[in-house]
């Protein structure tokens, strides 16, 4: 029932909140929420708090990318956010530094130490 789905979405939001991650749904998805070990293809744009773009799969020389959840192939905040999403969903995920690159930063992409990361993620497809 939709009541059960609403409760689980609330639980997902509370879990993210407990990690300091914020999520804002821009477009609802449909189907099942993504689970660990699944392969997820996404479009993503990443911004620093000052609005500087550090990465976008929508740039002319880029493409969507696929990763497997639960394998630490992306920063934790990105993954935890994706694990609350459904196919077709578009959401803004804000990751505190400890859920991103923490004190190291990622200098190749111009991400300083202790940076908050703001991702807009679109889930294109999910497979087992």
Cβ atoms 20, 98 nearer than 8 A: yes
- Over residues 54-110, the pLDDT tens digits come to 999 999 999 999 999 999 999 999 999 999 999 999 999 999 999 999 999 999 999
Query: What are the backbone angles phi and psi of residue 37, rounded to the nearest 5°?
Result: 80, -5
Distance CA 4, CA 46 (A): 32
Q: For residues 55 and 101, what is the distance between their CA atoms, to the nearest angstrom? A: 14
For 6-22, write each residue's pLDDT tens digit: 457 777 777 788 899 99
Provide φ and ψ at 54, rounded to 5°.
-105, -10
User: Does the reported pTM lie above 0.85?
Assistant: yes
């Amino acid at each position: 029932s939709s009541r059960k789905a609403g409760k689980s979405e609330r639980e997902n939001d509370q879990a993210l909140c407990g990690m300091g991650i914020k999520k804002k749904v821009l477009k609802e998805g449909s189907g099942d929420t993504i689970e660990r070990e699944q392969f997820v293809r996404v479009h993503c744009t990443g911004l620093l708090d000052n609005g500087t773009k550090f990465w976008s799969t929508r740039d002319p020389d880029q493409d969507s990318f696929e990763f497997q959840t639960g394998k630490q192939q992306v920063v934790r905040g990105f993954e935890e956010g994706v694990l609350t999403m459904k196919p077709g969903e578009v959401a803004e995920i804000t990751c505190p530094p400890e859920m991103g690159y923490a004190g190291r930063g990622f200098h190749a992409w111009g991400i300083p130490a202790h940076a908050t990361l703001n991702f807009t993620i679109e889930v294109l497809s999910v497979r087992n």
